[in-house]
Amino acid sequence: MASLRLVAIMLLVGSSAFAQTYGVGRTPSADEIRALDISIGPTGEELPLGRGTAKEGALVFRQKGCVGCHGAAGIGGGPAPALQSKQGPEVPIWERERILPLRAPFATTVWDFINRGMPLGNEGTLKPDEVYALTAYLLFLNKVIPEDEVLDKQSLPKVKMPIGDDYARLPVWKSGTPRLQGYPY
């Protein structure tokens, strides 16, 4: 009987109906959250509407001054990393250059990176169409997608990146345990 009551209490506590402890903080509106939520995860659920192709991206790449740091068509030579691989797909991915739009496990990572971090000095100013176009351009330069592929909210998360499944997953973290099971150091 007592244990049944305990179960009932635990169910209550676990339910979303359970009230806040301190009642501090304000409930943001859905629009407010959407405006701030620039975390684009692998499913792409947060992606905004918009579209872009490699051809359009080539134009944006020149207009926004990307060439100045990454070189023409991202071949490098400037102060920022190269964005176009010099090697072909016959070379295993981990032996190729560490180029984001080539090595990233998800095309959403490329989109997220450009959207947050570029262009230098004007971060956060690109429009969704421009980010889609730049992503398409860089993926095309690295032979990940064909030149005419249209990237949008639906197609971007479906892009198959060359790395496939060949990268390390992090072990489950648990407080008070070694950083790597069995490792003494």
Partner 1 sequence: MDSKRTNRRELLKGGAALAGGLTLGVPVHAQEHDHAIVPGNQNASPMIMGSKELIEYGQRSKYVTSVRISHGGRPSPDEFGKVMHVASPLQDSVGTITPSSLHYVATTRGSYMPDIDPKQHTLLIHGLVDRPLTFTMADLKRLPSVTRLHFIECAGNRHNGRQKNVQESHGMTSCSEWTGVLLSTLLKECGLKGSATWFVAEGAEEVKGASSMPIAKAMDDCLIAYGMNGEAVRPQNGFPLRLMAPGFEGIFHTKYLRRIKIVDRYYMNYNDYGHLDKDPKEAALAFQIGPKSVITHPSGDQRLPGKGFYEISGLAWSGGGAIRTVEVSTDGGKKWNRAEFKGTPQRMAHVRFSYPWTWDGNETEILSRCTDEIGQQQPTREQVAKYWNEPFERNYRVPGLDNSVMPWKIARDGSVTNGLA
Q: Where do contacts with partner 1 occur on this chain (CB under 8 A)?
A: 16, 18, 20-22, 24-28, 32-33, 36-42, 94, 100, 103-106, 108-109, 112-113, 116-117, 121, 123-124, 166-180, 183-185
Q: In the complex, what is the shortest distance from the CB of residue 40 to partner 1, in angstroms, rounded to a whole number?
A: 7
User: Per the structure block, which two tokens stand in for 126?
Assistant: 């690109």
Q: In the complex, what is the shortest distance from the CB of residue 2 to partner 1, in angstroms, rounded to a whole number?
A: 26
| Closer Cβ to partner 1, 53 or 76, answer by number | 76
| Closer Cβ to partner 1, 2 or 33, answer by number | 33
Q: In the complex, what is the shortest distance from the CB of residue 112 to partner 1, in angstroms, rounded to a whole number?
A: 5
Give backbone dihedrals phi and psi of 52, rounded to 5 degrees, phi first.
-170, 155
Q: In the complex, what is the shortest distance from the CB of residue 99 to partner 1, in angstroms, rounded to a whole number?
A: 11
**DSSP code of 93?**
G
Q: In the complex, what is the shortest distance from the CB of residue 134 to partner 1, in angstroms, rounded to a whole number?
A: 16
Q: In the complex, what is the shortest distance from the CB of residue 69 to partner 1, in angstroms, rounded to a whole number?
A: 12
Cis peptide before 162 (omega within 30 of 0): no
| Closer Cβ to partner 1, 2 or 168, answer by number | 168
Is 85 within 8 Å of 68 (Cβ atoms)? no
Residue 105 contacts by C-beta under 8 Å, 6 or more apart in sequence? Answer: 42, 161, 163, 167
| Closer Cβ to partner 1, 28 or 77, answer by number | 28
**DSSP code of 74?**
G
| Closer Cβ to partner 1, 41 or 146, answer by number | 41
| Closer Cβ to partner 1, 52 or 119, answer by number | 119
Could you tell me if residue 131 is left (phi over 0), alpha (psi between -120 and 50 degrees) or otherwise beta? alpha
**From CA 56, how far away is CA 130, in angstroms rounded?**
8
Could you tell me if residue 74 is left (phi over 0), alpha (psi between -120 and 50 degrees) or otherwise beta? left
